[in-house]
Structure 1
Amino acid sequence: MSTRTDEQLMKAARAGDDKALDEVLARHEKQVYRFGLRMCGSEEDAKEVLQETLLAAFRGIHAFRGDAELSTWLYQVARTHCFRLRRKRVGAPEEFQPLDSPAATHVAAEEATPEMAFHARQMGAVLQAAILALPEAQREVLILRDVEGLTAEEAAKVVGIEVRALKSRLHRARLQLREHLSTLMEGEGAQGGTQGCPELARELSALAAREVDQATCLRLEDHLSRCARCNKACDSLKRTVALCRRIPGDEVPAPVRAAVRQALSRALPA
């Protein structure tokens, strides 16, 4: 592997050294793919974002003047393609990948027990669901800063906002993420007790035969908005359904489906 810096490789690439261009793009390929996977949510979309980003970088190599880090520039290009892809597909990805999946990060250490690996996968799925429920503007700053490890200045350049605005947005994203995680991991002590709302009872019975989807969450949201008894008593269910409705697209991640079921069960008397 070459010991040349990104700047040296880029200079050589602009001078016509194709091997230098291949090397510098290969050096950043994994992080661009990981960013696309976490922003878009599926391997198919992440691969397309990576392909388009590398192609755009190849074509625009002479336009890059080194005003920012190469990685920052590549994140900007990937971000543009990710947004464009999401608009084209009009919805969220068909498949959600947990943050600890082999496609998104390193394989668990060899010394990890099967129980530890299973717990890590569960927590990764919960975290990914909580991140996906964030508004897109909050999600991208949280991924850039807390997942990819960019500095505030670098992340602000990628997003195209002032550092102060980015820090404010990141603060809101972290608070919202904490609230989402609390909702998804809420225990048996959550508030409940609707004193037997018959409509919720029917919904719970119907769920035994089907999966929770966005249509289910929409029906629950509608019921909670017009049922005075449930509106006052079902704080846990309201928060869980609201989180479900924030997930883009029609697919609902497994941790969110489980949380809706649990909250609905807690809302009804035994």
Structure 2
Amino acid sequence: MSKNREQLIKLACQGDQKALEKLLLICQPDIKRFARRTCSTSEDVEDAVQIVLWQLYRKIGMLKTVATFTGWLFRIVERECYRLFKIRRSKNINSDFELDNLPTTNLDMDLKIDLINAIIVLPLIYREVLILKDVQEYSSPEVAAKLGITVQAVKSRLHRARTIIKEQINSQKISNI
């Protein structure tokens, strides 16, 4: 962090209104960039940015040290994106996977059956992650929290689960030829 920015944060923490306004302008692009990676929709990104800027404005005086500013700010963004995600998800409670809602042809039905069979025979550690992430649409941090594993483990298991399913479905296609 530059000396100029550190000084700006110090002044804003001490209640300097001009420094706070300048800090809000400087931080907005970083907040938006981080929110784009964290929020689930573009509407949530815009909402999160506005809420985070408001919280920064209101709570900057609570910051204990300048060195923790960036982590503190991004933690607020992360929490806000998660809160907005939960609100959006609760409005769309249709998170259950329903085969009956999908349009069907004979080929589609065969693929669905193969897919279900491939998921069923996945080892439990991969099946849990796949269902939570791809079917129930939980975020990686949520899946990690539910299963008591790291986000990296979630990503690794999800990748492995998808690879196993692809291999099984491709081998089914080859054996049916």
**TM class by shorter-chain length?**
0.5 to 0.7
* Contact in 2 for aligned 1:49/1:82 (Cα 8 Å): yes
% identical equivalent positions = 22
User: Which segments of 5 or more consecutive residues in structure 1 lack a partner in the other structure?
Assistant: 94-131, 142-158, 160-164, 193-265
Q: 2:35–2:77: 8 Å Cα contact kept in structure 1?
A: yes
| Residue aligning to 2:156 | 175
* 1:41–1:171 Cα change, 3 Å: closer
What letter corresponds to residue 190 of structure 1 in structure 2?
N
Query: Which residue of 141, 153, 161 maps to 1:138?
Result: 141
SS, match of residue 30 in structure 1: helix
Q: Which residue of 1 aligns with 2:18?
A: 19
Q: Is the 8 A contact 1:45 1:85 kept in 2?
A: yes
Shift in Å, 1:7:
2.6
Whether the 8 Å contact between 2:36 and 2:42 is mirrored in structure 1 is yes
Q: Is the CA contact 1:138–1:170 (under 8 Å) kept in the aligned structure 2?
A: yes
Question: What is the CA–CA distance in structure 1 between the aligned matches of 2:76 and 2:161, rounded to whole Å?
Answer: 29
Q: After TM superposition, list the pairs within 5 Å mapping 1:20-169 onto structure 2.
A: 20-66=19-65, 69-90=68-89, 133=134, 135-138=138-141, 169=150
The amino acid of 2:141's aligned partner reads: Q
Aligned twin of 1:191: 171
Unaligned runs of 5+ in 2: 93-132
Amino acid of the structure 1 residue aligned with 2:5: D
- What is the count of residue pairs matched by the alignment? 132
- Residue identity opposite 2:68 in structure 1: E
Contact 1:36 1:82 in 2 (8 A): yes
Q: 8 Å contact 2:28–2:49 — kept in the other structure?
A: yes
**What stretches of structure 1 move > 4 A for 4+ residues in a row?**
132-135, 186-189
Q: TM-score, normalised by structure 1?
A: 0.39
| Richer in helix (by share) | 2
Q: Deviations over 1:169-196 (max 9, x none)?
A: 1431341353366479x5898221xxxx
